[in-house]
Structure 1
């Protein structure tokens, strides 16, 4: 099996960052940070993040309902967990989204509505993250006070807001189209044009749009607080406002497809940002790795869901083959 050059490049980047990080970090000190975690807290953290997933499912259900379909929260939550499990092994977060589209298509028998619902659910999250980043500008200047972090944060705000405007504005897309063609990204322009049609249709459902965006705001604030709770448990003296600045930076930069799912890049960013406010690389690594490990633990039920889904599909296939043989 031939490995694609881009996959090889991303793997090298991830491994390179990880090697650099672990050669400059005191592993014993990082392990001490981990020992502050208790089983009751880990249980609470998993329950808390499951609540965040329920908020995501509620948002997704609102979007689906606006397209004329009603899917149960149980079904949406199970597909979310399965998607999380797939994202552990697949680069980026699109593998989980593809599976979510597949699961909703099975429920609605409408692949276009399923695809639209997953995209719009993601888009309202992007919109909320952009707004959250703008709200984070004052604390970035007042709380962090480092010019490099402020510039980095400001750049991420521009990227987020620019991305949202490019998606929603036909006029801006026309301006950007020649540049996208020069970069051989004509297909991206075509996709954005289709997306804009979908957004205009969704915008007509004002109640659904408002509720979806409100849930996205609540979800983003809850995720920042989730980081804060874990940092507090690890005895890391970082404020909620500082995390409100850091998380959009990490979210935007790890979207750049230069590594496998942001692995290595994310840890390096946490270390850089922590060092700039007087915290240690060991503290940064302990927070990042704890977040990753908790995410993997939470995704384990998704593996079971995938196995059960595969078994059901196999049974249906065998039943169909038996029926065809009988006829």
Structure 2
């Protein structure tokens, strides 16, 4: 018994050390990318842009971001209700803001989603269905991004005739198709589980299989899936509009249409799990993309950094929600 306890403690220590190293590496990547970008950008130009910032427009972008998160909560609630999971809407809003906070603060980009899933499963005792609702919610958002980018590249390509942009757009769409197929195809699932056993993670077979089944259950709720996709298209359009408002606040002159191509591609690049909250990757892709349509590096970098500031400010509300809820929980005990 003592030996088993000791082995468990050693394993937990190794996992903690691995996570610390992972966080450190991602932080290093983000800092290195930002340092590289700043070293190649006119810092005086960035300072001039920030000094000329139109504060009312910037605060308008923050308010619109809060509206977008409310719409995200409505989408999540629709998916939960399809599986007969009913929670007060105010509680879902608080959970969503907590998730935003931890998505920003934790080393992994899905840390906040895992916390949301855990909280809902704790309240409802339906772990797989809770996690499946979040997975399907995220998937609908990714599909919406791919659809918007594929449509936007048609009119934009005449100006940004860059094969890399075309391949990134096509690759994003193909990736979404492959992911959906892997969730629905029994053969691809069997292949995935063989790979899971092959890399020594067979102990998670039952848990992953139950999650697969919970996700597949949503295929019987076709009307809900279409509603979630429609809400995701509106939501992603709001996000794109927020980017455009930030550009207006910075006095940048980029036609609105290009944002419908560039913002989804920036989102795809920032999902790569090699930096903290996409910081550095998003800024680098913004510089690469927006300079294709006449914007200088200082403007593109300022635009991306201000977007990060908007998300950080709004996510901070989730930190307040978490601290208040944690204090209340301690008082109840």
The verdict on a shared fold, with TM-score over 0.5 as the criterion, is: yes
Q: Which residue in the other structure is 2:312 paired with?
A: 296
The change in CA–CA distance for 1:263 and 1:7 in structure 2 (over 3 A counts) is same
Alignment pair present for 1:76 and 2:92 = yes
Work out which of the residue numbers 280, 285, 289 in structure 2 matches 1:264: 280
Taking the aligned partners of 2:303 and 2:93, their CA distance within structure 1 comes to: 26
Q: Which residue in the other structure is 2:27 paired with?
A: 11
Aligned 8 A contact 1:156 1:248 in 2: no
Taking the aligned partners of 2:216 and 2:281, their CA distance within structure 1 comes to: 36
Q: Which residue in the other structure is 1:238 paired with?
A: 254
User: Shift in Å at residue 140 of structure 1?
Assistant: 4.3
Aligned 8 A contact 1:92 1:262 in 2: no
Q: Which runs of 5+ in 1 are unaligned?
A: 318-327
The change in CA–CA distance for 1:61 and 1:52 in structure 2 (over 3 A counts) is same
Aligned 8 A contact 1:173 1:189 in 2: no
Aligned 8 A contact 1:126 1:164 in 2: no
Aligned 8 A contact 2:30 2:276 in 1: yes
Query: Is the partner of 2:272 in helix, strand or coil?
Result: coil
Taking the aligned partners of 2:266 and 2:225, their CA distance within structure 1 comes to: 27
Aligned 8 A contact 1:124 1:213 in 2: yes
Alignment pair present for 1:122 and 2:111 = no
Aligned 8 A contact 2:57 2:245 in 1: no
Instruction: Report the aligned-residue RMSD.
Output: 2.7
Q: Which residue in the other structure is 2:149 paired with?
A: 133
Q: Which runs of 5+ in 2 are unaligned?
A: 1-15
User: Shift in Å at residue 148 of structure 1?
Assistant: 3.0
User: Shift in Å at residue 284 of structure 1?
Assistant: 0.8
Tell me the alpha carbon deviations over residues 114-149 of structure 1, each in whole angstroms, 9 at most, x when there is no partner: 222222221221222232233233134234222332
TM-score (ref. length: structure 2): 0.84
